[in-house]
Structure 1
Amino acid sequence: MTALTTMTPTPHPPRSTKAAHRRHLPARQWPALAAAVLLNLGLNLGLSAAVHAAEPPAINLTGPWTVTDFEGRAALTGAQVVVPKPAQPRVPASRVTATQANGTVGLQFKDSWIAQLRLEDGPPLDLRPYLAEGTLEMDIDVREMADGGLKFKMNCASEHCERKVPWLPEARAVAGKGWRHVALALRCFMREGDDFSRVTVPFTLEGMGTGEVALRQVRIVARGQANAACPDYRTQSVTPIPLQESWAMNWWMPRHEKKLTEIRAHRDAGRDVKLVFIGDSITEGWENAGQAAWQAHFARHNAMALGYGGDRTENVLWRLQNGELDGMTPKVVVLMIGTNNTGDRQEDPRTTAAGIRRLLTEIQTRQPATQVLLLAIYPREQQAGGPLRAINDQVNALIAPMADGRRVHFLNINRHLMQADGSLSADVMPDWLHLSPAGYERVAQAIEPVIEQLLAR
């Protein structure tokens, strides 16, 4: 998988030998001069060796490549491979193909949830010497990306440690414009405490939606010059930004505008919105799988569900700062957010908690008379003890103390969603993340008494 190359320059003759030749030194001085020349040459060669020992060689990432779809994988051993479909595919329309020729590898994907070109079959790499000033570099030709998006990924040595850099707006901006050189600082893929001593997946190109891209000369350089930006993981959860995923680009902003229109319609009709739910796809689900429970328990309060599939804390923050709490004065806001911070980037629980704290501040600033019911992030993954559920549990432990009992109230209803052994039932969470109609009814019954108490304040 890796080819190591070094370049050691040939030492030039020391200046002292040239000067001696020009001055025609007497023969009796030649032995001393020769000793000095040898000493000088030895010092120069020693210094050169020390410099090159301190700077590791470039690592060329040339394959073998593995190509994956959401539901399958294949090895790219020939000129082309198509990822096979299972007998009953969940995404039957998707197609993922990879090609290689003359040092160029290509990835074509259509209607795909996740398509990946991965380096994962070579010996583990020790990337620690490259982290301080290193870069991941490549030439990339984005041939089609109008309905797609890209991410660059790198794993660290720990289990379940995959770090990513999103590249959707950039990929769409250069689509159809030929080859571009991209250099990302390795720091883009690092977080405090990560172990890069034995990296088994040093590079992944991930595509979503529909697109076509080609790569060549993918390598890791010890001292490179980055020319592409990346989000700072320490502040990403508190930096407001619209959701930038290929599958959301066509509907996310129109949904935001629609919600602003609904708020204006309530205000113009003189309807007092007393209850607002804020969150991600689980909150959005009150309009779909949870509609019956919503009508039975919350609609009488002129309630609004400000939930968007895929949202993370920073996306909700952007929405609140762009009007979604303006023009109404709800008595109660129900906030539940954070599971996409976990699932999308396996985020440090501390930074997710920081994003939730920032949202609480934003809500209280914009609605100073509102009571906030902060819900624990729901469990995910079928069995207890899964890595993503563990992150959510840690976030919940951090946000529970944010409740002051006066304006912010914390409620953990997760036991109502789990079975006795901590596992999830398909009757409640069919995909171990989103709620079924029965799941929404359980949530409604668990939170309604607290909401009614807060509405009565």
Structure 2
Amino acid sequence: MSRRVLPPLGVFLLALSVAPCSALNLNLNLNLATPRPLDWMSQQGGAGLRFVVADFESKIELRDEPVTVPKSDTPRVPDSRVEAERSTKDKDGDAITLRWQQAWYAALRLEPTHPKGTADLRPFLNGTLEFDVKVTEASKGGFSVAIGCGTDCYRKVNYVLPSRALQGQGWQHLAFSMRCFARPKDNFSRVTQPFVLEGSGTAEVAVANIRFRRDGKGTASCPDPRTVAVTPSPLNQVWSIDWWMPRHEAKLAEVRDRRAKGEAIDLVFIGDSITEGWEKDGRKVWDEVFAPRGGLALGFGGDKTENVLWRLQHGEVDGLSPKTVVLHIGTNNTGDRQDEPEATAAGIRAIVQELRQRLPGARILVLSIFPRDELASSHQRRRNEAINTLIAGLTDANSVEVLNINARLMRPDGSLSRDVFPDLLHLSEAGYRLWAEALLPHLNR
């Protein structure tokens, strides 16, 4: 069947800060079938928008013909496939269908054609981002919605569980309050990606009628970005749903079993995948150093502060009387959601308060968030260091001590060695040995 040739998507114009608010339409419609110039101005003399389809390693522009994201010669996810095509909602070409299979990351992104193109979305911050969506398949996948709001600014709403619930429901209209995305310090005057639909796993999703409304009312659920880090919640990511709750139940069973056998649990480690690594790359060191001290590892890959809070409130330390608790958490708040340092620090403080209430006899050792990325100048490293500064004051004379061992994990110039951080985030066995050596004097004391 022949396909009608459609105009290129690049004729959309970007809204920039030089456009007076009075010149803007009440609604901004990005009509996929009949692209037309918008009444926004461009600082770059007329920058367009284009749709880009991406996976974890590569991307390709979507024009009129179906596209598949190309693979490198040595792909890190060789079995994944991400593809997209123009499709139909009301008329030919007015929608885009995105399919992904076994993908770590798949995305449909609206990006400027000019490398310095940016959009001013401030007139819409009290309104909504809206679009129509049809979820054909998402039982093993799901999506999030995001806006790339400028340099070091990317705001994402996790919509995995609701998107799964939309499977087979036909076309549905979603309206996200812009307050789902904007944080108090955000500007949104130089937005680089006005719309991103990103997913993982396996799914097929079509979108149409993307628009911003200045007078819109949000109807799609979203967490409050100001409080999400302190609101207890399970980890609901595509890649975690199948194992996260079973791991929680397994840890509850492990504690029950050890208590039934009369085994002492005097030392508890709580955290994310870096703590979970004591059961993997750090296992040898754990067996040598911490197992004889009655160690218990409660690390869950991907956890943020709110996920640790949920686990504590659902029994993981109930009935225990450890001498020491070692807490290391927060780097996923930075890496996945780009939480403001103040929000992550608030989450860590909430965890400490929860531990003090549930384990009143324990000494709580709060570790500064470990360095990540190769160089100290990286945005995520600097954000973690800001968090470390904020939590330094948690130390008190009675039960809480903040310990920063980061200097022992880095080179003298602050860079990271892959001998210690193979992926510039997680530790090798050598890294876990450095961690253990740094902790021992504090545990012995």
TM-score, normalised via structure 2 length: 0.88
2:119 to 112, 115, 125: 125
Is 2:71 the partner of 1:85? yes
* Letter aligned with residue 78 of structure 1: D
- Could you say what secondary structure the match of 2:112 adopts? coil
After TM superposition, give the deviation of residue 187 of structure 1 in Å. Answer: 1.3
Q: Which residue of 2 aligns with 1:70?
A: 56
Is 2:245 the partner of 1:253? yes
Partner Cα distance (1:216, 1:370) in 2? 55
1:151 to 132, 140, 144: 144
Partner Cα distance (2:303, 2:395) in 1? 23
Q: Which has the larger share of helix? A: 1
- Could you say what secondary structure the match of 1:64 adopts? strand
Q: Which residue of 2 aligns with 1:318?
A: 310
* Letter aligned with residue 97 of structure 2: G
Q: Is the 8 A contact 1:429 1:436 kept in 2?
A: yes
Q: Which residue of 2 aligns with 1:379?
A: 371
* Letter aligned with residue 291 of structure 1: R
- Could you say what secondary structure the match of 1:251 adopts? helix
* Letter aligned with residue 345 of structure 2: A
2:98 to 74, 92, 107: 107
Q: Which residue of 2 aligns with 1:357?
A: 349
After TM superposition, give the deviation of residue 61 of structure 1 in Å. Answer: 6.1
Further displaced range: 218-227 or 371-380 = 218-227
After TM superposition, give the deviation of residue 55 of structure 1 in Å. Answer: 5.7
Partner Cα distance (1:295, 1:431) in 2? 24
Where do residues 401-412 of structure 1 align in structure 2 (5 Å cutoff)? 401-412=393-404
Q: Which residue of 1 aligns with 2:30?
A: 60
1:306 to 298, 304, 326: 298
Q: Once superposed, what is the RMSD of the aligned Cα atoms?
A: 1.5
User: Radius of gyration: which is bigger?
Assistant: 1
Partner Cα distance (1:61, 1:367) in 2? 57
TM-score, normalised via structure 1 length: 0.86
Partner Cα distance (2:379, 2:326) in 1? 26
After TM superposition, give the deviation of residue 57 of structure 1 in Å. Answer: 3.9
Partner Cα distance (2:197, 2:284) in 1? 41
* Letter aligned with residue 30 of structure 2: N
Partner Cα distance (1:426, 1:142) in 2? 41
Q: Which residue of 2 aligns with 1:239?
A: 231
Deviations 1:291-342 (A, max 9, x none): 0110111000221100000000000000000000112211100000000000
Q: What stretches of structure 2 of length at least 5 have no aligned partner?
A: 1-9, 14-20, 33-48, 88-92
Deviations 1:341-391 (A, max 9, x none): 000111110110000000000001001010001100000001111000001
Deviations 1:13-47 (A, max 9, x none): xxxxxxxxxxxxxxxxxxxxxxxxxxxxxxxxxxx
After TM superposition, give the deviation of residue 198 of structure 1 in Å. Answer: 2.3
1:377–1:434 Cα change, 3 Å: same
Structure 1 runs of 4+ aligned residues shifted over 6 Å read none
Is 2:326 the partner of 1:334? yes
Tell me how many residue pairs correspond in the alignment.
405
Deviations 1:138-184 (A, max 9, x none): 11001111111210000223x11000111011011111221100011
- Could you say what secondary structure the match of 1:426 adopts? coil
Q: Percent identity?
A: 49
2:82 to 89, 93, 96: 96
* Letter aligned with residue 387 of structure 2: V
